[in-house]
Amino acid sequence: MGQFRFLTGGESHGKGLVAIVEGMVAALPLKEGYINKELMRRQQGYGRGPRMKIEEDKAEIIAGVRYGLTTGSPIALFITNRDWQNWQEQLSISPVEKEIEPVTCPRPGHADLAGLTKYGLKDIRPIMERASARETATRVAVGAIARRFLEELGIAIHSRTVVIGSVSHEPSASLCEAGSMDWQQVEVSPVRCAHAELEKAMMAAIDEAKANGDTLGGIFEVISTGVPIGLGSHVSWDRRLDGRIAQAIMSINAVKGVEIGAGFALAERKGSQAHDVIEPGPRSKAKGFPWRRATNRAGGIEGGISNGEDIIVRAAIKPIATLANPLPSIDLSSGEIAKAHYERSDICVVPAAGVIAESMLAVVLADACLEKFGGDNLKETLTNYRNYLSNIS
């Protein structure tokens, strides 16, 4: 663990966002355009707020790439916040003469109250700036580097929306078959849902929430295909792949629940109905093993180790905590009852959260692949990977 790691910095309305990525192999072809395509996907989605009309997220590669290939050195990225133009005084690095009104009415559901108390502040602004999901732009840029590497190993990652508000795609136990999903349709859907009728219903639910000054949560699903058997390990708690994925997905702003495979639905089943029967099958060139599974309720992970099936993760995301029609709170400067702070917000971020989760899954899988196959340059890693597959007995 920790072969591939990153740190981010930046405030929502500061000058920009930065990331430093360490551990990627040398000689991986990488272009800014590839990263920016992913950043564009994160900005989409019906229910996004006015900020997304201001921004046009683009990552500038500052270090770690030469002549289109990674060098093995840390990769440094910078994403400009266009909106900074309008926030230069509030987010000034040096003290300013003008009196800036502090934010003192915490939003229930946001980091405001606990963050302000923990850091001993009188103004919520520094907390809300860093707790904002704007930070996920850097995660998607980093995830794009991980995804580029995984592509070389034949691993792909997709996401789709399963639930928005009370509009549900299907019973929670039925899992998407990656092979049968129309991913192109998902990509052009404003809510990342390939089912036309549900797509309409989801958009109508978002319109209704907007009209009421409210917000909506939901559930998204992330699927990775082509994952080799043997990533992660059963031997220690922090090596388990499912635990590592759960932490990465749970760390996405507003996520409140994560399940792998049939997840929570498995609690209600008998053992005979919960597991995935092992059947003999021809040796697969891509997977390296001569068996197949009748189902994939485990979501591609058994005992904390990838089992060669698609990895399927779902997560529940709560409605955004910034409401146009704010909830009651208190003004911390006076102790009086007051409405929670509101500037502007998204109505629903479930589709964007799916893209962010793809990125986080890519980071975990790239890390697990580098841990398993090693190598300091792409050729070395690919040689090790092919050797491993051809030696599975």
- Applying CB under 6 A, the residues found at the interface with ligand EPS are 12, 49, 51, 83, 132-134, 136-137, 320, 322, 344-346, 349
- CB 222, CB 357: distance < 8 Å: yes
SS3 call for 188 = helix
Closest to ligand EPS by CB, 285 vs 344, is 344
Give the nearest distance from C-beta 206 to ligand EPS in angstroms. Answer: 14
Q: Exposed, middle or buried: residue 315 (CB in 10 Å: 0-12, 13-18, 19+)?
A: buried
Write down the least CB distance from residue 215 to ligand EPS, Å: 9
User: Nearest distance from residue 349's CB to ligand EPS, in Å?
Assistant: 6
CB of 51 or CB of 192, closer to ligand EPS: 51
Q: Which two tokens stand for residue 198?
A: 């549900």
**Nearest residue (CB) to ligand EPS, 54 versus 235:** 54
Q: What's the closest the beta carbon of residue 239 comes to ligand EPS, in angstroms?
A: 32
C-alpha span between 107 and 128 (Å, rounded): 10
Rank residues 90 and 306 by Cβ distance to ligand EPS and give the closer one: 90
Cβ proximity to ligand EPS: between 230 and 319 the closer is 319
Tokens of 381: 């890693």
CB-based contact 80:62 (threshold 8 Å):
no
Nearer to ligand EPS, 26 or 113 (CB): 113
Q: Dihedral sign, CA of 205, 206, 209, 211?
A: negative
Dist. CA 228–CA 370, nearest whole Å: 12
Residue 198 identity (one-letter amino acid)? L
| Residue among 77, 328, 310 nearest 177 (CA) | 310
Least gap, CB of 156 to ligand EPS (angstroms): 24
Q: How far is the CB of 299 from ligand EPS (least distance, A)?
A: 27
